[in-house]
Amino acid sequence: MNTPYTPGIAAARLPADELTENFADLHAPLNPHEAAVAADRCYFCHDAPCVTACPTDIDIPLFIRQIATGTPEAAATTIFDMNILGGMCARVCPTEDLCEQACVREMAEGKPVEIGRLQRFATDTVMDKGVMPFTRAAPTGHKVAVIGAGPAGLSCAHRLAMLGHDVTVYDARPKSGGLNEYGIAAYKSTDDFAAREVEWLCSIGGIEIKHGMALGAELKIDDVVGCFAATFLAVGLGGVNALGVDGDDKDGVSDAVSFIETLRQADDLAALSVGRNVVVIGGGMTAVDAAVQSKLLGADTVTIAYRRDRDAMGASRYEQDLAASKGVKLLFNVMPKAIHGNGAATELELEYTTTKGGKLTGTGETLRLTADQVLRAIGQTLTTDAGLDLNGGKIAVTGAGRTSRAGVWAGGDCAAGGDDLTVTAVAEGRDAAMDIHATLMEGN
């Protein structure tokens, strides 16, 4: 089927059936036989390097052995005990840079055990049955507030509820899940998995979620601290950096985060608009997700323009290769100079860069790319600091997320020191919950 030529940003560039195929699950789940074969490749190392490489410290050899012995439910419990969002992490974690890169099979043969897919097999087995493998402890009488229903906040809330505390989660958005719901590529999390995971997580009881409650607007930190025994901030990074070049305000120029959010919440992919010639500026996971999805929506050309070289990209080599396999061009050592067009973007002017004395600088040589849609993916910023001390533009924390204010902890993307990964946010939420619990129970 030939789609009629439509200039500029437009919807329905591809027929509905092709869009459905394009946005299907990136990796098909393993069936029981495939899982058994994949698990049989594990050496079950005693001092397993994959465990050390996992930010949540999951006992990977144990859960793979449990799959190999036909008990995926036990494997899921092993995973969830350390990472209650193990289902989503199995889908979005850069395992190729973490546990699988450290796998002995990878180092010996160049092909690691498929840890991520095995983790998904185990966690899906339990979640599809609606089983919550943990129960709440006896009530402690303490009430804790969690601000932000993303990975860090949900992880913290679940662990606190499991320990017997009553938890109220406040979130600015109409749905829970944070970046899991709004900010990752649609082909990585299909069938409304993020929402189903939140519902399953909350089935432990003791967790109430209130939406439309943004910190600094409807929610004042002083009021929260005054009403709860402890507070955990997991507000993420809601601000988006601007390009700061001429033409940044032209039609067709927007931020990649909003682009991905719109796509993730769309009921009809054919109704989504995309340019003929799209350029995404940035080098992280958001840039790759926006670029690949632009191509899958039917853009003719999609280019990722990154200011440094390939090795400096925040996105993993696997993600870079995925983008290239979908027809996305990767352009390195270029930075935006100006966006041209009469009201709407038609061209992006870029300047080549070089590094001198450790500092990135322009060379003076430029090039122009045809671009009717330019997406910014150059980092996000904290929108509210709640009056807390900052470190590098994020909330300063010590230990397991303790902030400069007594009774207030923080974790996830809003807190300094992390690497902005879902799995790291989960670990920080879990560890903060344990520290909150120990603090509240000191006098008991």
Q: Are residues 391 and 370 in the same domain?
A: no
Indicate if the pLDDT at residue 217 is higher than 90: no
Is 11 domain-assigned?
Answer: no
Angle at 41 between CA 39 and CA 47, to 5 degrees: 90
Q: What is the pLDDT of residue 1?
A: 41
Is 23 domain-assigned?
Answer: no
Is 214 domain-assigned?
Answer: yes
Q: Are residues 266 and 216 in the same domain?
A: no
Q: Are residues 170 and 283 in the same domain?
A: no
Q: What is the pLDDT of residue 420?
A: 84
pLDDT 10s digits, 193-202: 999 999 999 9
Q: What is the pLDDT of residue 444?
A: 60
Is 1 domain-assigned?
Answer: no
Burial class of residue 332, CB neighbours in 10 A (0-12, 13-18, 19+)? middle
pLDDT 10s digits, 244-300: 999 999 999 999 999 999 999 999 999 999 999 999 999 999 999 999 999 999 999
Give the domain extent around 209.
143-238+382-440
Q: Are residues 285 and 410 in the same domain?
A: no
Q: Are residues 367 and 347 in the same domain?
A: yes
Q: Are residues 172 and 208 in the same domain?
A: yes
Indicate if the pLDDT at residue 8 is higher than 70: yes
DSSP string of 371-391, one letter each residue? -SEEEE-S-EE-S--TT--EE
202: nearest Cα among 290, 302, 134, 138: 134
Q: Rounded mean pLDDT of 312-316?
A: 93
Indicate if the pLDDT at residue 416 is higher than 70: yes
Is 55 domain-assigned?
Answer: yes
Q: Are residues 123 and 167 in the same domain?
A: no
Q: Are residues 220 and 193 in the same domain?
A: yes
CB distance 154 to 429 below 8 Å: yes
Q: What is the CATH number of the domain that holds 405?
A: 3.50.50.60
Return d(Cα 135, Cα 149) in angstroms, integer: 21
- The number of folded domains in the chain is 3
275: nearest Cα among 11, 9, 13: 9
389: nearest Cα among 376, 380, 381, 398: 398
Return d(Cα 141, Cα 444) in angstroms, integer: 11
Is 17 domain-assigned?
Answer: no
3-class state of residue 338 by DSSP: strand
Is 405 domain-assigned?
Answer: yes
Indicate if the pLDDT at residue 419 is higher than 90: no
Per cent of the chain over pLDDT 90 is 93
Average pLDDT of the residues of the chain: 95
Q: What is the pLDDT of residue 6?
A: 74
Q: Both tokens of residue 366?
A: 């430029």
Domain boundary among the residues 376, 392, 408 is at 376
Q: What is the pLDDT of residue 39?
A: 98
Indicate if the pLDDT at residue 20 is higher than 50: yes
Per cent of the chain over pLDDT 70 is 98
Q: Are residues 299 and 365 in the same domain?
A: yes
Q: What is the CATH number of the domain that holds 77?
A: 1.10.1060.10
Return d(Cα 58, Cα 62) in angstroms, integer: 9
* Banded pLDDT at 5 (limits 50, 70, 90): low
Return d(Cα 97, Cα 78) in angstroms, integer: 22
Is 6 domain-assigned?
Answer: no
Q: Are residues 232 and 248 in the same domain?
A: no
Q: Are residues 178 and 190 in the same domain?
A: yes
Q: Are residues 246 and 370 in the same domain?
A: yes
Q: What is the pLDDT of residue 4?
A: 59
